[in-house]
Copies of this chain bind each other. A is one copy, B any other.
Amino acid sequence: MAIAAPKTRRGETSRAVILKAALDLFQEHGYEATTMRAIADRAGVSLGSSYHYFPSKEHLVLEFYRHTHELHAAAIAPLLSREKDLSTRLRGTIRAVVVTCEPFHAVAGSIFSTVANPASPLNPFGGAAKPLRDEVVELYAEVVSGSGARIPKDIAEFLPLILWLYQMGILYFWIFDRSPGRLRTLEVIDETTELIVRLISLANLPVLRGSRNRILGLIKDIVERPQG
């Protein structure tokens, strides 16, 4: 069950070559159309060997995620170090998500369902994918904290998590988007990022204080109690 970490030079190359074959094939033919046998073939190893390093096909997707996450993080690094305006940082970050994922658009659909499955190791709410999720949330923490915006402390505490969730929503929309150049998704991103920043500033209004506290209390409760 547990992922077998390679313990020799030979093992390392085997694992690497299997992973590369899988990533290439996922991109070429999509997740479902890529068979474990095809992966093993292209990697030049036997079917059994793939299972020695990756407990399941889903675990290979997990590495796929990590791969795109690293591309994404690298892509927005310049923006994050240069730009101070929260709205611009957020827009640039989310735009970069869909741009980075664009080569995998055809794959994304079949993958999303696996992610949503509570029983899957890919489920971000508490499987093998949790560490990666935490990294992404951390990235959004940086988007917020590196900006000049003064965010109330109670909001700032959960904002990164909410933005991660928001990103998932955008990705789900993007999966369905058939518009040329995926323009609709970009429009929705522009509109929603501005909206989010606006709502954050509105949250300071006295009339909204009550609802704000209730929403934050709810989130706090959901996040901090285990198993739910």
Binding site for B on A (CB under 8 A): 109-110, 112-114, 116-120, 125-126, 173, 175-179, 184, 188, 191-192, 195, 198-199, 202, 205, 207-208, 210-211, 214-215, 218, 221-222, 225, 227-228
Contacts and interface: CB of A to CB of B under 8 A. Distances in A.
Within the oligomer, what is the number of copies of this chain? 2
Greatest chain B CB density within 10 A among A118, A199, A211, A225 is at A118
10 contacts: A109-B119, A112-B116, A113-B114, A125-B176, A126-B176, A173-B222, A173-B228, A179-B227, A184-B225, A195-B214
A140 to B, nearest CB: 20
Greatest chain B CB density within 10 A among A117, A205, A207, A222 is at A117
A125 B113 CA distance: 14
B109 A118 contact: yes
B116 A110 contact: no
A118 to B, nearest CB: 4
